[in-house]
Structure formats: C-alpha cells, structure tokens
Structure 1
C-alpha cells in the first residue's frame, strides 16, 4: 500500500477528518447557494476523493470499517423514528415495481457490457455475475458471488476500484438531476415541490430552511441514541441467530435465510415495528433525524475515499467501461419505464440508486434531499435486492460460463 500523509492506524486523525469534513459539508450546504445546489453529500464525497488521490488520507483504514460497521447501523433507526407505516405500505408496493424494472435494466446492461468486452477482459463471466448481484443488491452480494465463482484476487480488487469510482460518479449525477430544469419539466416532482413549499424564504439556502433550529433536550438525545443502540443490537443478534440455524441448502431455505438472516432487513423491520407499536414515544423524540443525518454525512465522506484514480488507470480502465455500460443502461431503462408509468422523478432516482448503490445510499440520498416520505420505502424495497441479487447473479454467471 502506498504511503500517505495520514497513516491507516492514525485513528484519531482520520476520525477528525471524517467528522470534521462532514460538518464542513453541512455548513457549506446551509451557508452558500452554490453548495446547496451541489449538495453537502457531493461536497463530502468529492473532498474525500481528492484527499485520497493526493495521498493525504489512506484508501483503507479501520476507521472507515467502523463507519460501515457502527455508524451506518446507528443512523438507520434514527432516521426511521418518524416512519408512518400506513403511508409506507401504500407507497412501497409501487416503488417495488419500479425497483424490479430497474433490476431488469441492470441485467440488460450486464449482458450488453459482457458481449461488448468479454474478449478483452479476463474472467468477465465471473465479474459479470458479481456485478449483477452487486448492482441489484449490494456489497454483500458482490462478496458472496466472488467467492462462489472463485474470481482471482487481482480481478476482484480491480473491479472494486472501477465500481467505487463509477458509484461516486453516478451518485453525483443522480443528486444533480433534480436541479436540472430538463428533468423538472419532463417528470412530476411532488417531493421536491413539498420541500420547496415548506422552505423558509428568509433562509440562506433551501437546506438551511429545511434543517431549521428545533427544540431539543438532553432527554431527547439520550433516548434517541440509547434506543438506537438497543434496536441495532437486538436486530443484529436476531439476524445472527436466524442465520446460524436456517439451513443453507435448497431454494426455499436460502430465501428464508436471506430474509431473516439479513441484519439490515431485520434492523429496518424491527425499527418500523417499534415505531408502529409505540408511535407517541418516537414522535416525541426531537433530534433523531438530525443526529442520523449527520451520521449519514460521515458515510458520504467514506464512500468517496476508495475511488483511486491512478489505480484505476493502471489496472482497470476497461472495467470502468464495463460498469459504465451497466449503469448507463440501468439508468435508461429506469427513467424510460418511470416516465411511461408516470412515476415521479424522485421515485425514479431512488429506485435506480437502490439498484446500483443499495438501500443505504438510496436512503441517504432521500435524506440529503429532504424526501422524507421515500426514506422508509426505498430501504424496504432496496433490501429486497440483497435477497434476489445472489439468485440473479448466479443465473447470469452460469449463462456467461457457457458462452465463453
């Protein structure tokens, strides 16, 4: 690993950067109009990308693993504390249909990219399977399919680099789309309109008006954070228990294990159940959304770190083209179908994001944009990608293996 100014084991310095840059990104977004249009999420991501490529911060470090392992799980329940279950179920069925259509776009993209590049990229049948699972589900599917098809470590690392850069670029594109007048004219935008209608016209930016100062007490902070820790611990233990006792043989058992053994699906389920059973308690907590959103901004910083441009140029330029074709066709299919079926621009964006980036990044985007009514539905439908991703990825990999 190349030497960097801040070493991977400089945990306090790295956390100072992660937490500090997330804070700066939020401040810029709420202070300046240009930053509000770009969004704090992109500022957070790009800042980390620049520093990692200038060799100031490392590409891998235990601090980053802690964000994935602890910060994100804590952010999820905090951001679901005001979930209206009745509204969620009314909306998530519709969003699930769009998500499945978007998954078809991913498969179409994988086949197109495979036939265009399989003569130039080794092990592309295995990589195609991995990316099918990853771009329908997430990193869990990527890891599972890479192990299943025994892809070489060199090709796995090169694919990860290309994937990380493509994810960062596409995330930037999706966040920028709502600010482009062409899309605002062609698609309905009810969630954007709601945010703009509720904005304080005297505020510096739209972000500042949305995140206006609220009444909050020490008790609110204590109960919000404390309950989040409890929900995460209980959810992960239950998922771990189911994962250990459910057999891993047979399609039915695999499906059941995927549902009950997935810790993020269990976390979402238990949080929504708790909020539904005790609505008065969770509605009374102030500050949970703010704390959860700050944690999500730390996540935005981390996802910008691994996009190493020199490593990509050295090892994976064709792989970048491969994943670009997949993402492009996913976007074309999702936006075309969404337009034909009269989905809103916001639903189309989060559905495509849930495919390519997984439910966490899709929910993070909805949070960053203030589309609060889409946060829970996209988490619910996005976690379904974890389940179906391995199945579809396996089918695609087996088809490619016969074609080579």
Structure 2
C-alpha cells in the first residue's frame, strides 16, 4: 500500500486511507447530485450518466497530480482482488441461471467475432500506420502490439505473457500500457454512455430483445416477491457470504495455480498458472451454485445492491489509474490504437447488424475482450445489476483464448515488420 513516505510518488495525497475517503466522498456526491436535488442537476444527469463521472473524476484527480493511482493499493489488491470477486459472488447468487442460458448462442458468437476483429484490427492498424507514419511501427512496435493484443483479447496476465514470449523492450511495453489504458478505458466510457440508451438503439436496429427483457422481468418479479427491510442479521450474512467466499477463493487459488504451473504443460497457455484467474472463476462458480439455493432470496435484503456498491468503488479505482495527460506523449501510438479499436468496432457492429443482436450483446462481446473480467461486469451492470456475471463469465473466457490469439498476432506482425 502507498504510504505518506512513498518517495516514488509526488501526488498531493499519498495516504491510501485519505485517498479512499476522497473516492467515497466523490461517489457519494455524484449519487446525491444524480438524485436531482435541483432542476439543473436533473437535466445534467439526464445526458451524463452518473457512472461516467464515477469513472472520469478519479481520472482527473490522477491527471492533475492530486492522487497517484498507480502508487495506491486501493485498486490492487483491495478493489480488484477483494471487492471485485465479492461483487461477483453477490451479483451471481441473485442470477436467474435458466434465464441467462436463454440469451442463446448469439452472445458467444459476438464474443468470438470481437476476438477475431481485434486480431484483424491489429494487422489493419499496422498497415495503415506503415503508410501514414512509418516511424511509429519501426523497431519492436510489433512486439508491443502483440502484448496489447494479449490484453485486449485476454487480460493483464496474457499481456505480460506476450512481453516475455517476444522479449518486448520495457519502454515499448510501457508505451502500450498507456495505449491500453487510454484507448481501452475511453471505449469503456463510450459503452457505458450508450448502455443508458440501449433501448433506443435496439428499437432503431430492430434487434430482438425479448430474451433480455424477459430475464429482467423475471429478476424484478423475484426481487419484489422477496423484498424486505434488511435486518442486521441479513447484512451480516450477506457480508459473510461475500468476503468468506473471497477468502476461500484466494486460499484455493494460490495452491491450485502453483500445482497447475508445475504439473500441467498447457497451464500457462490458458493462464491457469495465474491465481487471479482462479479467483474470478471460483467466485463466479460459487455464486452460481448459491443461486440454486435459498441464498438467492438474500437479494430481497439487498445483496445485489451491496454487490453493485462494490462495483462502483471498483469503477472509481479503475478510473484513478488513467493519466489523461500522458496520452499526449506518444500521439502516433495513440492514433495506432484508435485505428485498431475502430476496426474492431466496425467489424463487430457489422456482425451484430447481420445477427440483429441487442446492444447488450455488442457491448459484452467488445468489453469482455477489451476490458476483461475486471471491467466487463461493470458495463454489464449498467444494463442490469444481475447481468454482471454474464460479463464476468465472458471476460474470464478471454484468459483462456488471449495468449494463443495474441501469439498469432505477434507472429504475423513480426512478419509484416520484416523481422520474421
């Protein structure tokens, strides 16, 4: 954890306890204003989603030097390793599993199309930048792109795997981390913005939203049936299940990942040597198991609301990693990333149009790749809190496919760079 004596940081606030207080107060103010205390704020939040501000305001704090998100322990380990799996447990135990399964194969088709579009986008972006600004793709830029492909198809573990496999220079790798954060998180913000307008988008495209609407109605009906004023016992049980499961998952994840790393030859190819993969998968599976028991009735006492609260803290912690000013240091690499993600968006939108899928499918296909299991549940929860596990499941799938897909991207780009 960052401390007041942390010499590596020059931020005004370097104490994580003070930083957490700032983040909590910021979230509280945003939600109070979004409740419409005045006509101005009512109109303001009709256009600007509160979730977007929960994401960007901490980013502004980081960019102006008020805080140093990278030096803080709030995101890792607190938010990503504790609150995220706790949120997954609470949001998953309230899920209607049969209703989710009725969402059908088109959701998986959009996920696969998103992965392929990211691979193709890398090749197109490299080719275009080679024509527009050859210096941008000179040297080992191809290796940095392979690492970024690992992140955008899988996650951080896959990105680091590509760095080691292709021996990417530290400077190049750091530059693509900036592209990853800048372009990826901006796209996440765009998805959050349009998620609040999903109904209008689906009406315009003629998408069949019956499966999603039916699921939402079933969830609302179930919650209304079991809704009650939570007692202290209810809240203690909810917290006990959430953090007890998190502790159990971490206890299993360490030995399990170590055993697979030592005894299973293909474990690293699907990231089973990474403890966090196990934490995400186990917390989701335990939550799904609980959804088949009486524990699901805890949603009536606010289980999903507490899970959503954890997600909002995670959103703010993700936002405070972003340095808006650093994006200007390497403008051409940023252009490369923008071209790349625009190709992904265009191809995925085309597939979505052909399949006539709801915007939720498009958003999940994209964010489960670009953002992974840490942020896909966040975007899914904007559509409905109980849809968060759908994002988690698809995001976790990227850990299994990201290394292989990114390796293919690296090999092809190395050939395009004339270094094969």
d(CA) in 1 for partners of 2:101, 2:342:
30
Q: Say if 1:49 and 1:308, in contact at 8 Å, map to a contact too.
A: yes
- Counterpart in the other structure of 1:26: 31
Are positions 1:56 and 2:73 aligned together? no
Distance in 1 (CA, whole Å) between partners of 2:97 and 2:383 is 21
Match of 1:257 in 2: 272
Q: 2:92, 2:287 within 8 Å by CA — same for their partners in 1?
A: yes
Question: What's the offset of the Cα at 1:183?
Answer: 5.8
CA contact (8 A) 2:16 2:73 kept: yes
**Pair 396,64 (structure 1): closer, same or farther in 2 beyond 3 Å:** same
Alignment counterpart, residue 146 of structure 1, candidates 156, 163, 178: 163
Shift of 1:247: 4.6
* Number of aligned positions between the proteins: 386
1:93–1:106: structure 2 CA closer, same or farther, 3 Å change rule?
same
Give the alignment partner of residue 394 of structure 1, picking from 404, 407, 410. Answer: 407
1:272 maps to what in 2?
Answer: 288
Instruction: Tell me by how many angstroms 1:195 deviates.
Output: 11
List aligned pairs for 1:1-400, cutoff 5 A: 3-7=10-14, 10-31=15-36, 32-60=42-70, 61-65=72-76, 66-91=78-103, 93-117=105-129, 119-121=134-136, 122-178=139-195, 179=197, 181=200, 184-188=203-207, 189=209, 215-247=229-261, 250-251=265-266, 254-255=269-270, 257=272, 262-276=278-292, 279-285=293-299, 286-314=301-329, 316-370=330-384, 372=386, 374-400=387-413
DSSP 3-state at the match of 1:21: helix
Deviations 1:320-353 (CA, angstroms, capped at 9, x unpaired): 1122122211111222111211211111112211
TM-score, normalised by the number of residues in structure 2 = 0.83
CA shift digits 1:122-175 (9 cap, x unpaired): 422211211111111122212222233222222222211222121232122112
Which shows bigger deviation, 358-367 or 25-34? Answer: 25-34
Change (3 A) 1:92 1:126: farther
After the TM superposition, which of the residue ranges 326-335 and 247-256 deviates more from structure 2? 247-256
Deviation sequence 1:199-257 (CA, Å, 0-9, x none): x9xxxxxxxxx9xx962121111111111112122223323322212256644784493
Moved more, 124-133 or 146-155: 146-155
- The alpha-carbon deviation at position 192 of structure 1 amounts to 8.5
> Residue 204 of structure 1 corresponds to which residue in structure 2?
none
Is there any run of 5+ residues in structure 1 with no aligned partner, and where?
201-209
Residue aligned with 1:284, SS: helix
Contact 2:80 2:374 in 1 (8 A): no
Closer, same or farther: CA 320–247 of 1 in aligned 2, 3 Å: same
8 Å contact from structure 1 (residues 92, 377) kept in 2: no
Residue ranges of structure 2 left out of the alignment (5+ in a row): 1-7, 37-41
Structure-2 separation of matches of 1:120 and 1:166: 20
Equivalent residues of 2:58, 2:319 under 8 A apart: yes
Q: 8 Å contact 1:327–1:356 — kept in the other structure?
A: no
Contact kept? 2:205, 2:356, Cα under 8 Å: no
TM-score, normalization by structure 1: 0.86
**248-257 or 350-359: which moved more?**
248-257
Q: What's the C-alpha RMSD, in Å, of the aligned pairs?
A: 2.9
In the TM superposition, what is the alpha-carbon distance from 1:89 to its structure 2 partner? Answer: 2.8
TM-aligned CA deviation for residue 187 of structure 1: 4.3
